[in-house]
Amino acid sequence: MGLKQVHLHVKGRVQGVYFRASTQREAKRLGLSGWVKNRPDGGVEILAEGEEDGLKELIAWAQKGPTAARVERVDIRWRGFQGDFPDFRIIE
């Protein structure tokens, strides 16, 4: 499948429910790198890189999120792999 990058905007009740920490844990489990951060509009933004299969698993997970989250929509944009991230971080 190969290395790719995906940019996600997650909308719904996704702040204050450990979404970022849960995303980081899931991304690390899948061997992905990148970052996750809260957006001013109340959503969460994710930029992840790695094997396409792992990215697809992260997308499927993001469509549900952690137990307390209520995901309404996930906007997905695929991009070419850049290799810019040594690990997966939470950006404040």
What is residue 81's DSSP assignment? Answer: -
DSSP H or E run through 10: strand 3-13
Residue with tokens 């995906």: 6
Catalytic site positions:
20, 38
> Do 16 and 32 contact (CB within 8 A), yes or no?
no
> Do 86 and 30 contact (CB within 8 A), yes or no?
no
Residue with tokens 């697809």: 56
